[in-house]
Structure 1
Amino acid sequence: MFAGVAQAIANRYAIDPVIVRVALVVTTVFGGGAGVLLYLLGWLFFPEQNDEEAPFMSMVHQGRSSTGTAFTVLLCMALIGVSFWTFNGNGNGLIGLILLVVAMYLLHRNRASLGQQTARQPPLNTTTTARPQDPEPNLGMDMSTPVTDPEPPRTDPPAWDPLGAAPFAWDLPEPTPVNPEPEPPVRRKRARVGGITLGAALVIGGACVLAAPYAAWLSVPHIVGIVLAVIGIGMVGGSFLGGGRGLIGLAVPLALGGFVLTNTGPGGGPAVVGEEWGTINDTPASVQELRSDYTLGGGSVNLDLTALKSTEPVRTNVKVGLGNAVVIVPANAEVDVNCSASRGSVECLGQRDNGIPARVRATQSGTSGLKITLDVRASTGNVEVRRG
């Protein structure tokens, strides 16, 4: 419905596009965003009907595409962001992607040539008509055709015999001048450094995303740095081989994003980089069960404090590098909260802010005697604190 990816798959294998769309929606909702990931891949690597190449290959000067380079770069950035969502450590995204790949393989194996055969077959409602007979040749003279007198012989030499050396051949037609066809210009074959580099960057970046939940060092800035290093190596190689200029359009936003993630955090400080990726869901019932710090490099933190019972002041910090942080506090507790997000939105105790950075400082009194102090931050994402 957006880029024609589902329709293209349906046309290729002669199936109803609704089936493809339903599969993508189901794997998006229940498969950790695997449907969106596959759709973006198709958007980048499937060419339009009247285009020479797909948007991804056109960006590295491999052919013409109706999709602009700037929009293609945005699609690549969206693909990286969706990859963090799909492979967030809970396994649903990986399972959904595996199911989609297996379904595509089975579809290709069983119906690979059906779509092409259907396109070549004649319509079912065509009827066979008899071929009209060729008219019989007229063996006699057509008396209706007027008879003309033959042309008188030439008395002046033609252009091809200016000296009149062959008057017996003057009645021959004038020769048609033959102009030699110009030789086609020799096009210099462009080196495919850009395509190879982008493919390597996607493969290495995807491998880092898959390994991030199991490797504490692989934070968001580190993955961006690794991908940027691969692109930099490709640009250096392209400078010698005469290619890879399109990599600049991807290297610039990656460099800016890496700089922001590395050096800018809530309040102008360093970015929040945790040692874990995934999702934290915690509902502590006592002060002993409450952690003093909830930190993630990427993912989401859902902290429910409505079951907390304590007569002493309680304090905790929630920090997320890339993702969302949601804290639910008791309805009758005294709350002092400081919320901030470098890039995103903040909604704390009914107050909202969408600036860059977004900050909300709120204090509300309570009647239960429980006092909660919160510091909730996100480098890139959304922060929410509400009463239960």
Structure 2
Amino acid sequence: MLVVMSGTAEARSKHGPGGFEDVVKDFWASRPRRPQEGRKVAGVAAGIGKRYGLDPVVVRVALVTATVFGGAGLLFYLLGWLLFADERDQVSGFESMIGRGHSAMSKGFTVVACIALIPIVSWVFSGSWFSAGWLGGGGFIGTALLLAGLFLLHRDRGHLNRPLAATGSGAGLGATGHEFNAAFSMSGTDAKASGEADSPATPPKWDPLGAAPFAWDLPDPNPAPEPVPPAPPAPPRRRRSKVGIATFGIALLTAGAGVAGNLTGVDWFTVQHVIGMTLGVLGVGLVIGAFTGGGRGLIGLAIPLSIAGVVLTSVPGGVHGGFGDLDLTPRSAAELQPVYQRSAGDITLDLTKLPAGGPPVSTEIRNGAGSVEVKVPGDADVTFTCQTSAGNIDCLGHEQEGVGWGPVTAVDLGDDGAGGQQIKLNIHNTAGKVEVRRG
């Protein structure tokens, strides 16, 4: 009976639930647990890989790619951190916060992580993560692909490495089977002990003359020492894969070609495109290395490049102009450039030296990371749009602070009212302070 019940449970577990609702419920009941070994940050990718019998590198590549193209990978990783329990804990950090068990994750950190979900969800699904970058609307696409991949993965491989907490009945059957075997072995031993003892038919080596037949069933007082088993042969040394070195070389050549194209004036080779091409090469190398056992070191290069790509491509219209500070004071409308751009650095633009009563002027400032400061004449009529993805805005008394906010647009005529020089400013910053003040 035990065999029949165990086989039925095993067949049900192997083929997995049938419908969509059953798959989702079974995933939640047997969701991955974050292991201590093999983790890079919180163990989310390692837990998914261990749960479904995959190389964690494949999972990390998928999450990094989804982070670069839309931000969904970062959202999924943070959700996994909150909802997947550590292998040493009873429940996940989120479940512990609502009083359903114990978790080593502090409630303070859990609250901070839950709050961090708000701006991340806003960035991913508002389309501003890469609104003018490599892939517009990538947050929706990445989320759909990750959800579909996780659903298919659990449907086809959900029977592998199921956590013990999710297989209580199976564990009970196993324990019963062990108890049954142990009881059977003990009963057999007792039955044999209760019967007649088998006597040896020939004298042992220590009594060759047969002088003590009553003690022939006793062990030899001087048994021969058992031979020492030979040491197991050393496992063959695994050949080191050359995927990582080859991928790094190709990525270096790709980045060099992109930089050379940028220096020669080819418009397509922007900083964003160079980073995108390099990340594409690294991604291919990581996928190949996942199947050949190499290329793990490429993750350390792909992660900072991904972060740089997110920063540089989240500015509307893209970021150009190189790195470093700009400090300019145009003295005529002809000297005022229509666009000032920097990938990273501080931009200071002083417009107080423009001639009074001159023609209307306008300029646009785009910066990746750094502060932007613009000084305007005290009597100028200023129309401005100020925006920063993360940081502070203080534009002629209009203030804003935080992340994920929209632009600040207003018209300021100064203390003297209308009639001054007309200046139009359009400022976009990714991370840092934006300030417009009168000089």
Q: TM (normalized to structure 2)? A: 0.41
Name the structure where strand makes up a greater proportion of residues: 1
